[in-house]
Amino acid sequence: MKEIVPTPPAIVQSQFAEVRELFNRYVVPSYGRYEIAFSHGAGNHLWDVNGKRYVDFGGGIAVTSLGHCNPEITETLVEQSKKLVHVSNLYFHEPQGRLAENIVTNLAPGKVFFSNSGAEANEGLYKVARKFGHDEGRFEIITANNSFHGRTLAGIAATGQEKVKKGFEPLMPGFRHVPFNDLEAMRAAISPATVAILIEGIQGEGGITPATVEYLLGLRKLCDEKRLLLMMDAVQCGHFRSGRFQSFQRILEGHPAEKVFLPDAVSMAKSLGGGFPIGAFWVRQEVHGVKLCDILSPGTHATTFGGTPLGCAVANKVFEVIKRDRLVENVRTTGEFLKQRINSLAEKYPAVVKGARGMGFMLGIELQDKDGIKPFAAIDKPAAAQMCARLHEAGVLLIPSGNQIVRLLPALNLGHADAEAGMDLVEGVVRRLA
Ligand SMILES: *Cc1c(COP(=O)(O)O)cnc(C)c1O
């Protein structure tokens, strides 16, 4: 794709200050934002209001799955918006049915409910679990330490991180956390009130940590023994980012259990809409003798916006392009290239980089402790945050994950040339720090 770098007009010097001032005055200050205001994007590049160009390895936190301002997404938005944008869920329309079919075809027999965000998709999972356990008085859901499940009140109760809960007590009851990838801890935590287990296939906010094969298979067995639901939050790690539609499919690849392992419910959002806000959860056809996919009967769950014709048309286009352009193969090969580049950084500059984490296009660069990196030691900010600021100066966008990891969540169509150019910028920053 041809990209034109705009020449910054003289007035842009004040443009950032102006945007910043609007936020100071009018926007709730709940985010610790970086001092950049973007004006436009194309493919894997973004431009700020001063005309500076950035390679985008963050993908708007794993959202812009086909890059910025993808012409096919734009066309779909325009065409569908001329036909039908919204009708509510009082009625039927084809795009929602087709999108549900796409998800089921790529996952397994079951049914899909559409929401507007990841947190809302997870809310659906909690309600499925509560409905499933209701008549037996079971309601408790066990999640993992360092997990992230969204910022609603149930979401912060489900999330295994103290920082999201602080100041919002009393928390919604019915959630407990145990160490991730520790099967015995999970087994020990199950009580007579437990109804479900919820984990991410690859923890995103907690440091790019994939579940192990033994953990996934062990949890399935545990859920079968104790009549629990195994639920997976695939909001960040799903939608082909791992190199398969779902991360558990990639993790179990080549294992005899690959063909039989299945969670009972999966939430999704982020990459699903390629930038258009849409979330969803899939529920398995049947488990423990219950037709789980029909457990939310008419009147039990609803949303006004969920699964609009516009959002679903875009998400269907994303599915179509991923398949047509064989983006899964791209995620695997380019993902492997990125991972090798990160590993070579660790070899060349061990004083700064510890190593690579993750798989496909969900990768982490693990940094040394802040106090171990000389220029970082003097500043009272985690290494990951300081590193991201330096990378921004160099013209490449990455995202912190925890205190010591910066992550890459690029568009699934990130090509080799952009991947290489971005990694050269990353390497330049690491070299200067070392
Ligand atoms: C981002 C994220 C969420 C929350 O999604 P929102 O769209 O921000 O509500 C939930 N779970 C995981 C794993 C996420 O990465």
Asked whether 54 and 392 are in contact (CB, 8 A), the reply is yes
Angstrom CA distances, 128 to 42, 196, 295, stand at 39, 10, 7
CA of 36 to the centre of ligand 1 (A): 23
CA of 117 to the centre of ligand 1 (A): 7
Q: Which of 126, 236, 407, when mutated, tests ligand 1's pocket best, judged by the most ligand atoms within 8 Å of its CB?
A: 236
CA of 153 to the centre of ligand 1 (A): 13
Q: Which atom of ligand 1 is nearest to the CA of 270?
A: 7
CA of 236 to the centre of ligand 1 (A): 7
Asked whether 96 and 262 are in contact (CB, 8 A), the reply is no
Asked whether 176 and 228 are in contact (CB, 8 A), the reply is no
Residue 426: per-residue pLDDT = 98
**Closest listed residue to residue 235, CA positions, set 195, 205, 215:** 205
Q: What percent of the chain has pLDDT over 70?
A: 97
Q: Which atom of ligand 1 is nearest to the CA of 150?
A: 4
Q: Which of 200, 202, 270, when mutated, tests ligand 1's pocket best, judged by the most ligand atoms within 8 Å of its CB?
A: 270
CA of 235 to the centre of ligand 1 (A): 6
Residue 13: per-residue pLDDT = 59
CA of 263 to the centre of ligand 1 (A): 19
Q: Long-range pairs for 74-79 at CB < 8 Å and ≥24 separation?
A: 76/313, 76/314, 76/317, 77/276, 77/310, 77/313, 77/314, 79/313
Q: Which atom of ligand 1 is nearest to the CA of 269?
A: 7
DSSP class per residue in 54-78:
EEESSHHHHT-TT-BT-HHHHHHHH
Q: Which regions of the chain are under pLDDT 50? A: 1
Rounded to a whole number, what is the distance in angstroms from the first to the last CA of the chain? 35
In the sheet where 229-233 sits, what is the strand order? 110-115, 279-284, 265-268, 229-233, 194-200, 140-144, 175-178
Domain 8-63+326-433 annotated CATH 3.30.70.250 = no
Mind listing the pLDDT tens digit for each residue in 357-398? Answer: 999 999 999 999 999 999 999 999 999 999 999 999 999 999
CA of 267 to the centre of ligand 1 (A): 9
Backbone angles phi, psi at 177, to 5 degrees: -125, 145
What does the block give as tokens for 423?
A: 């990694």
Residue 3: per-residue pLDDT = 58
- The whole model's pTM is what? 0.96
Q: Whose CA is nearest to atom 11 of ligand 1?
A: 149
Buried b (16+ CB within 10 A) or exposed e, 98-107: ebbebbbebb
CA of 122 to the centre of ligand 1 (A): 8
Q: Which atom of ligand 1 is nearest to the CA of 61?
A: 1
Q: How buried is residue 95: exposed, middle or buried, by Cβ count under 10 Å (0-12/13-18/19+)?
A: buried
Asked whether 386 and 379 are in contact (CB, 8 A), the reply is yes
CA of 284 to the centre of ligand 1 (A): 21
Q: Whose CA is nearest to atom 15 of ligand 1?
A: 236
Domain 72-324 annotated CATH 3.40.50.300 = no
Residue 295: per-residue pLDDT = 98
Domain regions of the chain by residue span: 8-63+326-433, 72-324
Mind listing the pLDDT tens digit for each residue in 267-280? Answer: 999 999 999 999 99
**For residues 276 and 272, what is the distance between their CA atoms, to the nearest angstrom?**
8
Q: Which atom of ligand 1 is nearest to the CA of 203?
A: 13
Ligand 1 contacts (CB < 6 A) are 117-119, 122, 148-150, 200, 204, 233, 235-236, 269-270
Residue 320: per-residue pLDDT = 98
Can you tell me which residue has the tokens 């039927």? 92
Amino acid at 102: N
Buried b (16+ CB within 10 A) or exposed e, 384-395: bbbbbebbbebb
Q: Which atom of ligand 1 is nearest to the CA of 117?
A: 7
Residue 14: per-residue pLDDT = 75
